[in-house]
Chain A
Amino acid sequence: MALLTKKDASLITDPLADNNPITIQVLGICSALAITAELKASIVMAVAVMFVLGLGNVVISLMRNVIPSKIRIIVQLIVVATLVIVVDQVLKAFAYELSKTLSVFVGLIITNCIIMGRFEAFALANGPWKSFLDGIGNSLGYGVILIIVGFFRELLGSGTLLGYKVLGDPIAKTGLYATGYENNGFMIIPPAALIVVGIIIWVQRSRNPALVEDN
């Protein structure tokens, strides 16, 4: 790629797989459990985090030489809070129903460990372009897991994808439901997300044994 050097590209691709914020660093689990019952909410959450983390990383990176290190956490929080409020207001204005589904979790992006983690670990020590790529990469890695989990939970739990009844109508008993199939209520409740994330971690580590920690 001409646009990105190899090193820059790895900033984006690494968090997608072998340095995934959720499955490897085990950050941002709370929101992954809370909002993945529907695919749509997962996608919106992924986009929101991408916006906040991408821009936030750039802002922090630009200010990195002027932030007194004693109050850097406060400065970071203000940056995140500002961006999160922008996201929250946009959602409330243009997608009110969805903002109700996501409810408190948009606000809780502020406390998402991934965001503070990337600010601390990357943006404070690197230039704005690299920080931007890092932010995009990590939020993509976060989003991919969210979307995978959301896909399985919505498909198995509600029989829909993005609200479309892909498996047929459970009340009129059409499609798959005509055979006696039923939605799995377990997939709707948050513990199911924990198990799906666990299975993803299991699959990933058995495909790449280098990721397995020593005891």
Chain B
Amino acid sequence: MSDKKLTFKKRLHILKHHYRGKKMAPAFNALHTFLFAPDETTHSGSHVRAADDLKRTMNTVIMALVPVLLFSMFNAGYQHFSAINGFPQEFSLMNDFLTWDNFWIGIIKVLPLVVVSYGVGLLVEFIFAVIKGHEVEEGYLVTGMLVPLIVPIDTPLWMLAVAVVFGVVIGKEVFGGTGMNILNPALTIRAFLFFAYPTWMSGDKVWVYEAVERAGGPDAISGETILGYLAQNKGAEMSYSVSDMFFGFIPGSVGETSAFLILLGGLFLIFSKIASWRIMLSAVIGSLVMGLIFNGVVDAGWIGETSKFYGLMSFDFWQHLIVGGLAFGIVYMATDPVTGAQTNRGKWFYGFFIGFLSVMIRVFNPAYPEGVFLAILLMNVFAPTIDHYVVRGNVKRRMKRLKNATILPKDSAGKANELHAETV
């Protein structure tokens, strides 16, 4: 072995020392640590050796997202060809779904979304890291993967780029970067797209590849979502079975369709202790409760079949979980540890209202039959308030316990006041 020949790794190490203290250092360090472990270790002091650092946490979430991404690439083609040729009479997974043709549509439509999302988002992160002179934070690794999965497949790439710049700068960097943001950046991007370019975010054309280009022509195709059908009271025209909905062979935003894979991803996140099962469970409960209320309203006869809410309100309460973005939102977005509630009791409230409000907005939103992203953003804003009251509640309960305590031999009230002054 000759030491004269520099390996790529060595070159990077040398370059790193060369850049130390310079303005570009953070950008370079990020690249370097992304590829290799740093060549230096601390020589003194004691260290907590926890394996789950930020980078590993992010990677776990990405791992949970990969099956969803792969599925969405096949589904992109499956929806496209089914819209043209009609859905296959007898569905076979290998012959109709997992085909190279389907995957190819995924490669030309879904991969560019991923590339643009990561490219633009990381560029913004790098620029801010260089300006502010801190290390590049890993926060965008997950956001960059979530963003392409929650937009319609025909979203123009430049719109996505504009939205990513907006979401990362206004949603995250102005608050101080990763860990300081109030709103979930991926949902900020989604919300920006929704309000800025509503025609590309709703309707029956954007969910299937080529439906927009073919609109108005003789070979027009459409890919109305299930919620879209229901919002127009056309539930009877739908040809999707419950298993289609559960496994995800339906039109919708790129990665939101397969409740099955999202469920697996959610279980993976729960067992790796990355995401909070409290939030997921309470959000599921919340959506079921709201769905039951709506079903009850229909059963009681307060809403007739002519009502514009009939379609969505009479939809079986549990099926709300397997259509639209609810499952995806609950598993991957509501559980964001930065923007969600931090206290255990707070997580129950936070999750419950996400589920509850998602279904409520979904039914009542006049322009667009979906509300998961609005519900999560709203609860993001309320999360600190929820935590505040949970903490106050804890303090109050302990104060009471302290006042009633008999172990303090003298003047327990005085001690309590003293403690009260400390905690308030």
Q: Shortest beta-carbon distance, B85 to chain A, in Å?
A: 28
Q: Which chain A positions have C-beta within 8 A of B199? A: 182
Q: Which chain B positions have C-beta within 8 A of A186? A: 192, 195-196
Quick one: closest A residue to B191, CB to CB? A186
Chain A residues 155 to 183 lying within 8 A of chain B, measured CB to CB, are: 180-182
Instruction: Indicate whether A185 sits within 8 Å of B195 (C-beta atoms), given known contacts A195-B170, A202-B174.
Output: yes
Roughly how many angstroms separate A181 CA and B156 CA in the complex, as a whole number? 9
Q: Is B112 in the interface zone, CB < 8 Å from A?
A: no
Q: Which chain A positions have C-beta within 8 A of B195? A: 185-186, 189
Q: Is B198 in the interface zone, CB < 8 Å from A?
A: yes
Q: Is B158 in the interface zone, CB < 8 Å from A?
A: yes
Q: Is A89 in the interface zone, CB < 8 Å from B?
A: no
Q: Is B197 in the interface zone, CB < 8 Å from A?
A: yes
Chain B residues 159 to 203 lying within 8 A of chain A, measured CB to CB, are: 159, 162, 170, 174, 192, 195-200
Contact with B along A34-62 (1 / 0, CB 8 A): 00000000000000000000000000000
Q: Is A184 in the interface zone, CB < 8 Å from B?
A: yes
Roughly how many angstroms separate A198 CA and B162 CA in the complex, as a whole number? 18
Q: Which chain B positions have C-beta within 8 A of A181? A: 158
Contact with B along A126-164 (1 / 0, CB 8 A): 000000000000000000000000000000000000000
> Do A185 and B196 touch (CB < 8 A)?
yes
Interface residues on B, range: 10 to 19
Instruction: Indicate whether A182 sits within 8 Å of B198 (C-beta atoms), given known contacts A195-B170, A202-B174.
Output: no
Chain B residues 100 to 121 lying within 8 A of chain A, measured CB to CB, are: none
Q: Which chain B positions have C-beta within 8 A of A180? A: 156, 158
**Chain B CB within 10 Å — which of A184, A187, A189 has the most?**
A184
> Do A184 and B170 touch (CB < 8 A)?
no
Q: Shortest beta-carbon distance, A167 to chain B, in Å?
A: 14
Contact with A along B143-158 (1 / 0, CB 8 A): 0000000000000101
Contact with A along B192-233 (1 / 0, CB 8 A): 100111111000000000000000000000000000000000
Q: Which chain A positions have C-beta within 8 A of B162? A: 184
> Do A184 and B158 touch (CB < 8 A)?
no
Roughly how many angstroms separate A186 CA and B156 CA in the complex, as a whole number? 17
**Chain B CB within 10 Å — which of A180, A181, A186, A198 has the most?**
A186
Quick one: closest A residue to B169, CB to CB? A199
> Do B197 and A184 touch (CB < 8 A)?
yes
Roughly how many angstroms separate A181 CA and B198 CA in the complex, as a whole number? 14
Quick one: closest A residue to B197, CB to CB? A182
Q: Shortest beta-carbon distance, A58 to chain B, in Å?
A: 41
Quick one: closest A residue to B170, CB to CB? A195
Instruction: Indicate whether A185 sits within 8 Å of B174 (C-beta atoms), given known contacts A180-B156, A180-B158.
Output: no
Q: Shortest beta-carbon distance, B77 to chain A, in Å?
A: 23
Roughly how many angstroms separate A182 CA and B155 CA in the complex, as a whole number? 12
Q: Shortest beta-carbon distance, B201 to chain A, in Å?
A: 10
Q: Which chain B positions have C-beta within 8 A of A182? A: 159, 197, 199-200
Roughly how many angstroms separate A182 CA and B192 CA in the complex, as a whole number? 14
Selected from B158, B170, B198, the residue in CB contact (under 8 A) with A185 is B198
Contact with B along A171-215 (1 / 0, CB 8 A): 000000000111011110100000100100010000000000000
**Chain A CB within 10 Å — which of B159, B162, B174, B195 has the most?**
B195
Roughly how many angstroms separate A202 CA and B174 CA in the complex, as a whole number? 9
Q: Which chain A positions have C-beta within 8 A of B200? A: 182
Q: Which chain B positions have C-beta within 8 A of A189? A: 195
Q: Which chain B positions have C-beta within 8 A of A184? A: 162, 196-197
Roughly how many angstroms separate A192 CA and B232 CA in the complex, as a whole number? 31
Roughly how many angstroms separate A186 CA and B198 CA in the complex, as a whole number? 9
Q: Which chain A positions have C-beta within 8 A of B196? A: 184-187
Q: Which chain A positions have C-beta within 8 A of B174? A: 198, 202
Roughly how many angstroms separate A195 CA and B159 CA in the complex, as a whole number? 18
Q: Shortest beta-carbon distance, A154 to chain B, in Å?
A: 15
Q: Shortest beta-carbon distance, A59 to chain B, in Å?
A: 42
Q: Shortest beta-carbon distance, A176 to chain B, in Å?
A: 12
Roughly how many angstroms separate A187 CA and B198 CA in the complex, as a whole number? 12
Q: Shortest beta-carbon distance, A205 to chain B, in Å?
A: 12
Q: Shortest beta-carbon distance, B24 to chain A, in Å?
A: 20
Roughly how many angstroms separate A81 CA and B197 CA in the complex, as a whole number? 41
Roughly how many angstroms separate A182 CA and B28 CA in the complex, as a whole number? 36
Q: Which chain A positions have C-beta within 8 A of B170? A: 195
Roughly how many angstroms separate A27 CA and B158 CA in the complex, as a whole number? 36
Q: Shortest beta-carbon distance, B131 to chain A, in Å?
A: 9
Q: Which chain B positions have C-beta within 8 A of A202? A: 174
Roughly how many angstroms separate A202 CA and B128 CA in the complex, as a whole number? 14
Q: Shortest beta-carbon distance, A168 to chain B, in Å?
A: 16
Roughly how many angstroms separate A198 CA and B196 CA in the complex, as a whole number? 18
Roughly how many angstroms separate A181 CA and B159 CA in the complex, as a whole number? 9
Q: Which chain B positions have C-beta within 8 A of A185? A: 195-198
Q: Which chain A positions have C-beta within 8 A of B158? A: 180-181
Roughly how many angstroms separate A180 CA and B199 CA in the complex, as a whole number? 13
Listed A/B pairs (22) with beta-carbon separation below 8 Å: A180-B156, A180-B158, A181-B158, A182-B159, A182-B197, A182-B199, A182-B200, A184-B162, A184-B196, A184-B197, A185-B195, A185-B196, A185-B197, A185-B198, A186-B192, A186-B195, A186-B196, A187-B196, A189-B195, A195-B170, A198-B174, A202-B174
**12 new A-B contacts at CB < 8 Å, known A181-B158, A185-B196:** A182-B159, A182-B200, A184-B196, A184-B197, A185-B195, A185-B197, A186-B192, A186-B195, A186-B196, A187-B196, A195-B170, A202-B174
B residues adjacent to A (C-beta < 8 A): 156, 158-159, 162, 170, 174, 192, 195-200
